[in-house]
Structure 1
Amino acid sequence: MKRLEKIFDKLSLNNLDALLVFDDHNITYLSGFTGHAATALIFQDAAYLLTDYRYFEQAKSQCDDFQVICRDRVNQSLAVLIYELLFKHAANNLAFEADHISHGVWLDMQQHWPEIECHRASRWVEDLRYVKDAGEIESIRKAASIADQALTNLLDMIKPGVTERELATELEYQMALLGSEAPSFPTIMLAAERSALPHGIPGNKKLAKGDLLLIDFGAVISGYHSDMTRTFLLGKADDKQRDIYQTVFKAQQAAINAFNAEMTGAEIYHHALQVLNKSPYAEYQGEGLGHGVGMDLHEFPFIGLGCDLTVRKHCVITIEPGIYIPGWGGVRIEDDVVLTDNGLEYLTQFPRDLMELH
């Protein structure tokens, strides 16, 4: 209820009568509903969840603070139902999540209430979501722990002759066995020169001695994501591989060591940037340093140039510097961290030192 009350207060503060919420994760955050095909309509003193027969019973069981309405999709459009509720509450001013509905669909809906004054509402719920409560942090911690263990379980399989796709499939299988609801995203598993593709797709390339292997992946618990990257070496690292790995490691540590409450994403990024810019590989560094993580894999706050949103206590963010050299390969190290009352806490625990797999 506290989350919903913050929306009530925001409506009152802005002299608005209602807010339309379209984004699935924002709806989950406010109502508890974990299904799809729903819209939330929130007034200053009431909240409705609009869905259909597929999710009606689920919504009733999950949404204690919302009045759940089952729309007859054959005989009533969503726009007509919204208009009926706006009329019932004598609403004259309506805010809506403009970032989560197409312009064309919105124009079609708005035709049903031309007398209502409509206002774009950007990041109303996202600005609440980016600071996590204890339950949210615990879900991300559990997801990170599953990812840690799944990667540990995969190590014996990483050897010459196995393909990127085989490893990616096995890693996702291991996470599922450990209780992950789904992969956070399609696993990135890239060997040798292909590791220079920051978000490449695993293929049939077979691993060989001397290859770098970049693995970026995550688990999901209670709808909350983890996100971790490790880069391994098959065999003994040569001088360049070791130097680049240590450069990326030092850049991550510089950002983490400087991390404190009330820094902006740009300020945190600056500390990693200093390390990378002083290295021989400055031109190959990736843009940005990280992002918030939660119900969305990438959410506020973001860490990089021009990112002026403050990283407050209980934000969960990734710190993930990288160097990507076309034709040679890439190194990225990524961890999920949260700033608590007792200091910075790593949620991802898998070792960060260069691991040479023999």
Structure 2
Amino acid sequence: MDNFKKVEEINRKLNIDGVLISNGNNMRYISGFTGETGYLYISEKRHAVITDFRYTYQAEAEAKGYEIITIGSGGYNEAIGDLIKSDNISRLGFESEDMLYSKYEDLKAGLPECELVPIKDEITRLRRIKTPKELEYIKQAQSIGDKVFSEILDYIKPGVTELELAARIEYLLKIYGGERTSFPAIVASGVNSSMPHAVPTSKKIEAGDFVTMDFGCVYEGYCSDMTRTVVVGKASDKQKEIYNIVLEAQLAALDILRAGLKGKEVDKVARDIIYKAGYEGCFGHGLGHSVGLFIHENPRLSPGEEDIIEAGMTETVEPGIYVRGFGGVRIEDLVVVTENGYINYTHSDKSLIEL
């Protein structure tokens, strides 16, 4: 089924006459349009991309079969208003989890006779189960990450700064075929590795440091995500203990992962191992998240996730232990869930690497 027809089904289910899609990833998923500015409008009568002059030619090339509307001096409100009047729309759905309140207020003021109906994440949920083509793109993006990890090990040595290492990672991701990074690369060494999302600094890597690297790239619009932690020099007994606990937790979570489980059930397996080892309070984030056109998608593997994990969904599995004033470890793989388990797209070594 064409994706815009799925949206039409949502319109009928919610008893709305049309929908205005503002989330850029959803616009791409439904229509193919990748421009940075615009809206996607879908009703029973028409489906259209609304954008400005900078993206008109791009929209015509990418959104095949869609009407392309270029806004004039009246801006988006006038263009949307004309569509609403032309189609006699009385109930218009909008992505309430994406649209800024100021935009909503402007739209509401410009459409006094039309009821704006929040549809939350109804469109975004269409992207949860990946198609074989989407999975191939994600797999390719992750293979680029594996190549980068293998090569970056030669650059990790005392005296190199976190910023230098992050720049090298992002350079290699593009050299090997990534369109861009799926998020700014995280490189955290020594005590900085105790911060799960540390921003790379001018700190120089020292002998004895943990070095945690979290990075990914975009291939054909789809993201990858992986994390590895290494030790510069010989690991201490404490470093080995923390690393092995995190690895045990990750392998146990992977062992249970399959379609039909709630996200929180998978998270609990890894969390119990870490907490029982004496590190309760040192693993404060969820075990993982889905990955697709956006780096952090749903459903998640987290303590509060009630949604069922289904075959064809992607998930990261990334337990960690972070000890204030000492350092931290995170190990992250990107997998696709199957009926009886998973397929791991991440192939980089997970044994403790001492450089």
Q: TM class, shorter-chain normalised? A: over 0.9
Residues of 1 paired with 2:339 and 2:132: CA distance? 12
Contact kept in structure 1, 2:259 and 2:339, CA below 8 Å: no
Contact kept in structure 2, 1:286 and 1:321, CA below 8 Å: no
CA RMSD of the aligned region, Å? Answer: 1.2
Shift of 1:14: 2.0
Shift of 1:46: 2.1
SS at match of 1:336: strand
Residues of 2 paired with 1:338 and 1:246: CA distance? 24
Mapping of residues 196-275 of structure 1, within 5 Å:
196-275=194-273
SS at match of 1:55: helix
Shift of 1:45: 4.0
Residues of 2 paired with 1:148 and 1:268: CA distance? 25
Match of 1:23 in 2: 23
Shift of 1:90: 1.3
Shift of 1:341: 5.4
Listed as ranges, the gaps of 5+ residues in structure 1 are none
Match of 1:113 in 2: 111
Contact kept in structure 1, 2:42 and 2:48, CA below 8 Å: yes
- Aligned partner letter, 1:173: Y
Listed as ranges, the gaps of 5+ residues in structure 2 are none
Q: Report runs of 4+ in structure 1 exceeding 2 Å deviation.
A: 340-343
Mapping of residues 305-320 of structure 1, within 5 Å:
305-320=303-318
Contact kept in structure 2, 1:12 and 1:44, CA below 8 Å: no
* TM-score normalised by the chain length of structure 1: 0.96
Residues of 1 paired with 2:109 and 2:201: CA distance? 48
Q: Determine what percentage of the aligned residue pairs are the same residue.
A: 37
Residues of 2 paired with 1:264 and 1:270: CA distance? 10
Contact kept in structure 2, 1:262 and 1:312, CA below 8 Å: yes
Deviates more, 1:105-114 or 1:169-178: 105-114
Contact kept in structure 1, 2:258 and 2:340, CA below 8 Å: no
Match of 2:6 in 1: 6
- Aligned partner letter, 1:41: Y
Mapping of residues 77-156 of structure 1, within 5 Å:
77-156=75-154
Residues 60-102 of structure 1: per-residue CA shift (max 9 Å, x gap): 1111132111112xx2221121111111111111111111122
Shift of 1:165: 1.0
Shift of 1:118: 1.6
* TM-score normalised by the chain length of structure 2: 0.97
Shift of 1:353: 1.1
Residues of 2 paired with 1:139 and 1:8: CA distance? 27
Shift of 1:44: 2.4
Contact kept in structure 2, 1:320 and 1:332, CA below 8 Å: yes
SS at match of 1:189: strand
Matched, 1:68 2:68: yes
Contact kept in structure 1, 2:45 and 2:87, CA below 8 Å: no
Contact kept in structure 1, 2:148 and 2:172, CA below 8 Å: yes
Residues 204-227 of structure 1: per-residue CA shift (max 9 Å, x gap): 111121111000111110111111
Contact kept in structure 1, 2:289 and 2:298, CA below 8 Å: yes
Q: Number of residue pairs matched?
A: 355
Deviates more, 1:314-323 or 1:284-293: 284-293
Matched, 1:353 2:351: yes
Residues of 2 paired with 1:55 and 1:288: CA distance? 38
